[in-house]
Structure 1
């Protein structure tokens, strides 16, 4: 499953091609992915200007005019393909479920072989109340998470260290691959009790490496 770095790479690619474009129409080629598309989803997106493409944890947040955010989760196999107006590539692959037609003649095609991805929308001003985003922990970057913050989040946790880091309420965006790498490089057993790592000689020193 794509983790934070992979989703950030996708975000940057979408940002370069979608920001400032107008959505002319949206084709939904099935009624659902992991979850059903919201009622009136295609109509809601049609005619809106794409203001920016952001990310929170593993979620892509496409900001549209009119206080609307279009949220996309890639699931395990979701991917976006960007086709220019002069592209001869077709968008009729067996797993091309969403085709976004843009005002410059380009298309953004969302494909998902296993259909574990999903899309939704919400009012941008109500992001903190969104059911998928409300309980997410801080991003694993120096601007959002310090060693002391992480130590505080782990203090009193009786769960194994790996499970604690995979919990999106502790740190947002980490998955199995990066958690395993972090623990290996830190010399911390994934089975170790999370609370035992939060002491002075534990996570605060190891994360600062």
Structure 2
């Protein structure tokens, strides 16, 4: 599933074509994706101006000029591409390749008014993604968002906050970090990477990172820094290529070439002087990649 940095790269890639444009027509080529589209979805949003694109966790948010917001989730295989004239641009790169097969083009945003007319096309072979429309003023209380924790890039995420969340918890650290109520948008790939950077085992109990007095340990301080850094590095890797990518190719970002443990089972650990080997275990149905020699 696309993670926060990939969704952020998609947002940045779509913004030049969508922000300030008028959504002349929303074309729905089927009645549903993972869920049915909202009633009168196309009629409700067609003709509205797009004021901004933003992101909350792994949700892409398309704000309209009437106070409504189109909420889009990419699911397992969803992607967007921009077509303007003869060129096509698919913002975002993912660990698993995205489809460009037009038979899976399910939603088309027909845009005008922000430079050249363009089409933004949503493609989703497995149809695990979805779209909805929410009043922006009600978003905080909406079921999609009301239980989400702070963003891993925001100032709310610090060691003191996680100490309160983790205190007394026997839950494995990997599971605690994937809990969206603790941190919003942090997914499997970047949890593995952050745990490796902070030399912490995914099997370790979350509560062991909190002192008896309820204060964050040095290890928890280290983990928060690692989370921030790995997300920032991944966003920078995707975003830095926006200037230089070939539009007809659409490939953006190369952070997956820098994975230290994720999907690197049986390869040498990259920690200087470690000498260990990356292993793989399964936790709650998800693969965890880590080095048992230097992550404890």
* TM-score with structure 1 setting the length: 0.94
Inter-CA distance 92–40: structure 2 relative to 1 (3 Å threshold): farther
Q: Aligned equivalents of 2:218 and 2:19: distance in 1?
A: 46
Query: Does structure 1 residue 160 correspond to structure 2 residue 164?
Result: no
Cross-structure match for 2:134: 122
In the alignment, structure 1 segments of 5+ residues that lack a partner are: none
Q: Aligned equivalents of 1:71 and 1:205: distance in 2?
A: 34
Contact 2:27 2:108 in 1 (8 A): yes
Alignment of 1:137-176 (within 5 A): 137-176=149-188
Cross-structure match for 2:119: 107
Cross-structure match for 2:86: 87
Moved over 6 A (4+): none
Deviations 1:152-184 (A, max 9, x none): 221222211100000101101111100111111
Give the length in aligned residue pairs.
207
1:198 CA drift (Å): 2.4
| 3-state SS, counterpart of residue 143 of structure 1 | coil
Larger radius of gyration: 2
Cross-structure match for 1:98: 107
Deviations 1:99-131 (A, max 9, x none): 111124210000001111000011110011111
Q: Aligned equivalents of 2:180 and 2:205: distance in 1?
A: 18
In the alignment, structure 2 segments of 5+ residues that lack a partner are: 89-99, 212-216, 227-296
Q: Tell me whether 139-148 or 46-55 shows the greater mean CA deviation.
A: 139-148
CA RMSD, aligned part only? 1.7
Q: Aligned equivalents of 1:23 and 1:208: distance in 2?
A: 40
Q: Aligned equivalents of 2:3 and 2:87: distance in 1?
A: 31
